[in-house]
Amino acid sequence: MDMNLNGKIAVITGGSVGIGLAVAEALAREGVQLVLCARDRVRVDSEAMRISETLGVKAVGVEADVTNPADLEKLRDTVESTFGRLDILINNAGTGSSETIMEADDERWQYYWDLHVMAAVRTARLLVPLMKRAGGGVILNTASICAKQPLGYEPIYNTTKAALVMYGKCLSNELIPFNIRVNTISPGLILTPDWKKTAGILTKDTDQTVDGYLDKIAKDNAPIGRFASPEELANFYVFLCSERASYSVGSNYYVDGGWLKTID
């Protein structure tokens, strides 16, 4: 199926690893030119160069912490000076948390609020004008199944991702008159480096292997019985970025192998 994305311009935050990098590669295979945003300058530049060389599209890296408004302005300036317009924005930067509500201080709550919610608010304010210049576009926010089905050890992550889902709905209503479609994707078990790192920590000094731990997590939670690869998930992002999903507006899509135990 031709997605008609060739020549489009996309920004991906958290674009140098995991889901963000997989989405970048999938879009590049469709001919999309990229601006990858991440905190690690060496890694984001390296991945952008690799994508350019192997997939034949223009890809640039921007060192930016999305919790820092000044860094997001730098991101906007790079997009404008390099491409002059924008078609796709993937708000993907984020990470899990581990705390209790009683013990977490205000600073920790604020950090994750800025990372998962305010970063998406600020990128919209800064980059939507470039989408309007292009005549429309697509914004996809990466939330989580935990926004609806929370995990007990990360209440801040659960709460901020739930807020991101509502933000996406509100933004979709505001921007659809400008031909800008906003949707949210809430993944379940995706085998990212973060999951492997966590598994390594939890199985250290035990008889359980990392692979064995992850296999048990998948079989205990997802009816499909396994994690998805970032590449599997990325295919869904590509579809929602395309005109094939032209009637998808303001929705939240679970890609979770059946893990969610309720229906909307």
Percent of the chain scoring above 70 in pLDDT: 100
pLDDT at 35 over 90: yes
CA distance 169 to 249: 8
Give residue-wise pLDDT tens across range 60-92.
Answer: 999 999 999 999 999 999 999 999 999 999 999
Cβ-based neighbours of 76, under 8 Å, separated by 6 or more: 126, 127, 130
Average of per-residue pLDDT values in the chain: 97
- According to the model, what pLDDT value does residue 264 have? 75
- Domains, the chain, in order of start with CATH, read 9-190+229-255 (3.40.50.720), 191-227 (no CATH)
Give residue-wise pLDDT tens across range 217-236.
Answer: 999 999 999 999 999 999 99
Please give the model's pTM, rounded to 2 decimal places.
0.97
Where does 135-189 have alpha helices with state H?
155-175
Q: How confident is the model at residue 172 (pLDDT cuts 50, 70, 90)?
A: very high
Residues involved in catalysis:
157
Backbone angles phi, psi at 38, to 5 degrees: -160, 165
Where does 4-150 have alpha helices with state H?
18-29, 41-55, 69-82, 106-113, 119-134
- For β-strands 180-187 and 9-13, DSSP reports them as unpaired
CA distance 69 to 90: 17
How many CB atoms neighbour CB 33 within 10 A? 21
Percent of the chain scoring above 90 in pLDDT: 92
- According to the model, what pLDDT value does residue 26 have? 98
In this structure, are residues 189 and 221 in contact, taking their beta carbons and an 8 Å threshold? yes
pLDDT at 108 over 90: yes
What average pLDDT does range 9-31 have in this prediction? 98
pLDDT at 152 over 80: yes
Look up residue 85 and give its two tokens. Answer: 């317009």
Unique residue bearing structure tokens 């924005």:
89
